[in-house]
Structures are given as C-alpha cells and as structure tokens.
Amino acid sequence: MHRWGMAVDLDSCTGCGACVTACHAENNIPTVGPDQAARGRAMHWLRVERYWEGEFPDVRLKFRPVMCQHCDAAPCEPVCPTYASHHTEEGLNAQIYNRCIGTRYCANACPYNVRFFDFFNPIWEKPLDVQLNPDVSVREVGVMEKCTFCIQRINAAEIQAKADKQALKDGDVTTACAQACPAKAIVFGDLNDPASEVSRLSRSPRGRKLLDDLGTLPKVTYLERQSEA
C-alpha cells in the first residue's frame, strides 16, 4: 500500500510559478477572467504565497507554494454531507465531483484555503478546449474542486505497473507541479517507502508542516529556507 506525500524545499523554490501553470495545463483548471478573478474566484489549485518581512532597505520576501496538504486528519472530510470529500486508501483527500452538491462546507473547514468552488460552468473558447487532458474530468457549475496530487497520473502508473507485474519504483509517478519545477523544489512520492526521495526529505531537520498545531497531519512537508546574513 502506498501513502503519497510531497516535500517542498523552500531553499530551492524561486517562486517562478511554473508549478501553477503546469497544474492548470494538467488538471483542466479554467481561467475565470478578470472580473471573476477580482471577486476572488480565480482557481489555482496550487498557489505561490509570498511573505514580506522587514522594511526597506532591510527587506526580505519569502515564497511558499501551497497546494492541498492531503491531511491525514482532514477537516474537510467529516463536514461533507455526501461523502464527496473523502479519504482514499492511499491517503489522498479525494473529491468525487458527481457526489458533490456544493454545500461548500469543506472549503469553510479547510484551514489552508485550497478548495475552489465552480461558480460557473467553465469556458474554453474554441479551440483552447483541444488542449484539455482527457484523463481529468472537467468540473461543472456547483462543484468543489481541489488538488488531487494528480491522481490520474498515480492511477495510470499503478495500472501500468500491475500490467507489467512490477512494483512501482520511486520516481515512476510524479505530479505536474513537481515535473515542471525548474529548481527541483517539489518532490512527490511514497511516504511508506523509507528509501524514497520524499521520505528522505520529509525527515529533514528543516522540515515543517503548515499550521502544524491544528493537528491536521498534513502529508506535505516544507523544508524551510536557509539564510546567511
């Protein structure tokens, strides 16, 4: 049994946003346009947060890519009346769009602000729709959507491994954000495999969980940025 997790090394992350665009391309995330974006309805399953510290000239800016933390004790799951938001055997916080009735309780409960509601049917002006990934369902109005750890890639790799009668190796599955990252800051893999890169990084003394004190038990580990001076 796998237990999928992620490590983000903030000392390598440059804040470029390649992960954000890669996530849009992989997961059929629509753009909402300027008017809806101004109402806070832009959908970025993955965002790069920025934290300013200090005042000019002694000023510092830190980046942190934030996606669904795939908590082991996820606040979004027990509040869902239809079990649309649920925990898979492999530890993912999955969202079943067909079950979702749009109460948005899960988004209220999530402390990480990583759930996005479809206020409208998505629009891809033709032929932009030709780019859509056939492995990922397009969400319609009234549904909550979120980072899936690219579950379509996980499933495809598991099916392939089964067909080949081989076990999945570390690196056989990666998410779109991790694959695109020019600075190799994001690493995805199996936390049940102690030898995997993500397990090794998650044990780092620089490792922190986001809002750890909430007890949500996230499966994303942030390796804090180091600094001289």
Partner 1 sequence: MDRRAFIKLTAITGTSATLASCGHPEHQLIRFVPDEELVPGIAEWKPSVCPACAAGCGLNVRVMEADVDVTRNGERGVMKKGVAKKLEGHPLHPISQGGLCPRGQAAIQITYHPDRLTQPVKRRGARGSGDFEPVSWDEAIAALVGRLDALASAGDQKSLAFVTRRRDSRRADLVGLFLARYGAPPPIAFELFDDDVLRRANALSFGRDQLPTFDLGRARYVIAFGADFLGTWNSPVAQSRAYHEMRQGRGGARGKLVQVESRMSQTGANADEWVPIRPGTEGVLALGLAHVILSEKLIPAPSGPAGALIDGWSAGLPAYSPEEVERQTGIKAAMVTRLARELAERRPSLAIIGGAPLAQTNGLFQAVAVNALNALLGSVGQPGGVLFSPQLTMFGDAPPARGGFARFASGILSASTSPVQLLLIDDVNPVFATPRASRVRDALDKVPFVVSFASFVDETSARADLILPDHSFLESWVDARPESGAPITVASVAPPAMKPLHDTRSMPDVLLDVAKRLQKPLNPPLPWATFDAMLAEWFAKLPASAAGDAWGTAQKQAGWWGKVLEPKTAGPPPARTITQSAAQFDGDATQFPFHFLPYPSAAFLDGSLAHLPWLQELPDPVTSAMWSSWVEINPRTAERLQIAQGDLVEVRSAHGSLRAPAVVSPGIAPDVVAMPVGQGHETFTRYASGRGANPVAILAPVAEAATDTLAWAATRVTMSRAGDGRGELILFAGEMREHPHGHER
Please report whether residue 128 would count as binding partner 1 according to CB under 8 A.
Answer: yes
- Structure-token pair, residue 96: 């079943």
Please report whether residue 62 would count as binding partner 1 according to CB under 8 A.
Answer: yes
CA nearest to 82, candidates 57, 101, 58? 101
Q: How far is the CB of 201 from partner 1 (least distance, A)?
A: 9
Please report whether residue 155 would count as binding partner 1 according to CB under 8 A.
Answer: no
The DSSP annotation for 162-194 comes to HHTT-PPPTTS---HHHHH-TT--EEEEETT-T
Largest CA distance in the chain: 59
Please report whether residue 213 would count as binding partner 1 according to CB under 8 A.
Answer: no
- Candidates 3, 31, 103, 111: give the one binding partner 1 (CB under 8 A): 31
- Candidates 3, 17, 97, 224: give the one binding partner 1 (CB under 8 A): 17
CA nearest to 87, candidates 15, 79, 95? 95
Q: How far is the CB of 22 from partner 1 (least distance, A)?
A: 5
Q: How far is the CB of 156 from partner 1 (least distance, A)?
A: 9
Q: Collect all residues with Cβ–Cβ distance below 8 Å to 47 and sequence separation of at least 6.
A: 20, 65, 66, 67
d(CA 26, CA 34): 22
Please report whether residue 73 would count as binding partner 1 according to CB under 8 A.
Answer: no
Q: Check if the beta carbon of residue 221 is closer than 8 Å to that of residue 203.
A: no
CB atoms within 10 A of CB 202: 21
Mask for 80-109, x = binds partner 1 (CB under 8 A):
------------------------------
| Number of residues counted as binding partner 1 (CB under 8 A) | 63
Please report whether residue 228 would count as binding partner 1 according to CB under 8 A.
Answer: yes
Residues near partner 1 (CB under 8 A) are 9, 11-12, 14-18, 20-22, 24-26, 31-34, 37-40, 42, 44, 47-50, 52, 54-57, 59-63, 113, 125-135, 176, 179-185, 223, 226-229
